[in-house]
Amino acid sequence: MTLIDRFLHYVSFDTQSDELTNMTPSTPGQMIFAKALEKELQRLGLSEITLDENGYLMATLPANTDKELPTVGFIAHLDTSPDMSGRNVSPRIVKNYDGGEIVLCAEENVVLRPEEFPEMLHYVGQDLIVTDGKTLLGADDKAGIAEIITAMEYLLAHPEIKHGKIRVAFNPDEEIGLGAHKFDVEAFGADWAYTLDGGEIGELEYENFNAAVAHVTFRGRNVHPGYAKHKMINSIRIANQFAIMLPRWETPEHTEGYEGFYHLVSFEGNVEKSVLTYIIRDHDRDRFERRKKELEHLTRKINNEFPGCAEIEIKDQYYNMREKVEPVMHIIDLVSLAMKNVGIVPKVKPIRGGTDGAQLSFKGLPCPNIFAGGLNFHGRYEFVPIQSMEKASALVVEIARLVADAK
């Protein structure tokens, strides 16, 4: 099976995750996909294949040299985003892209336009896999899975390329922030690993946001509006007052690079009770802690005006993996060299989000993130250049070769 055939087969599996089920994996489609991958790995001849009850699939490509070498891992996730349907994905290949518009769905007027997505122009002359405009594509992260497995197949077919023991893993529920929660780092047994879960070709990331979620609850008192003077306490209005107390410019739509933000992701309520849910993000740990304290301070301010009305719950989600990767920067230098060797210009940049690699790094497995090649993740405009996927797979092979050469 070729890399592209493999990818097109993988996107036929409906593997959207769901944060409301409280199960692992959060949806049955992920386990169905994992079992199909398990059989494929068996057919290819990998060893030490395990699939646990939580949907974590691991396997080994044994070393083909007697040299003492570190064990390197490659990881990708099974699920697709719950932001848009991943059922009945119908991909199409646009060969030799000419730089113009791509009509995804004529009947619904869904068009991929370079003026709206200028990154398209970086791939003129290449072959793009696009959606039919009705679902996401699933390159995040089925492209990563296809690239890793294709690289393992290539190494099996080319024993002249010497390499150490390689571990691969495919986990559920990354898109809802739970991908690393039940990942058994000790059983995985790698010295370090890489997630193939980044975007455009060349991306190499070892910095990510520190992240927390905050739920701010406001309790009011409902009284007939005709008789409400000095009696009613409208929790909706108080919640709105709280929301506008935060800095207007420190939101996702006004920030970039290393700039952090407060993001109001939901507002639910009525007169009696309203709940605001925020995600808090910052690359700098001190600023991150100050952001959490600011929300607590504003909650106290509201309670000064409306005694006992507001309460806040803040929960940390993950931290910046940079502090765990910097002591082992050779794993970044290795990828940079591997990229150059296969004709890729490295693009080292911070992740304005999270990754399984961040949580795994804090569990003792340093785990930077490498591109998988896709763009416009989580929506109908998602696409992936075939040539980027081919380079990603070649990069995995080159990393394995360089680890063996370094000793």
* DSSP assignments along 246-274, one per residue: S-TTSSGGG--TT--EEEEEEEEE-SSEE
Q: Is 174 a catalytic residue?
A: yes
Query: Treating both helix axes as pointing N-terminal to C-terminal, what angle do 386-405 and 3-10 enclose, rounded to 10 degrees?
Result: 110
- The helix (run of H) or strand (run of E) holding residue 279 is strand 273-282
385: number of CA atoms within 13 Å, CB side?
Answer: 21
Query: Which of these is catalytic: 38, 79, 141, 282?
Result: 79
Q: Using CA atoms, how far apart are residues 254 and 262, in angstroms rounded to an integer?
A: 11
Q: Using CA atoms, how far apart are residues 199 and 55, in angstroms rounded to an integer?
A: 24
Q: Which residues have C-beta within 8 Å of that of residue 168, sequence separation ≥ 6? A: 41, 46, 58, 59, 60, 61, 73, 74, 75, 148, 149, 152
Which residue from 331, 392, 401, 337 is spatially nearest to 199, judged by alpha carbons? 392
Q: Using CA atoms, how far apart are residues 126 and 137, in angstroms rounded to an integer?
A: 18
Q: Where are the alpha helices (DSSP H) in 97-191?
A: 139-157, 185-188
Q: Using CA atoms, how far apart are residues 289 and 297, in angstroms rounded to an integer?
A: 12
The end-to-end CA distance of the chain, in Å, is: 33
The size of the chain, in residues, is: 407
Q: Using CA atoms, how far apart are residues 301 and 262, in angstroms rounded to an integer?
A: 18
Q: Is 184 a catalytic residue?
A: no
Q: Which residues have C-beta within 8 Å of that of residue 304, sequence separation ≥ 6? A: none
Query: Which of these is catalytic: 40, 141, 147, 174?
Result: 174
Backbone angles phi, psi at 348, to 5 degrees: -85, 120
Active site residues: 79, 174
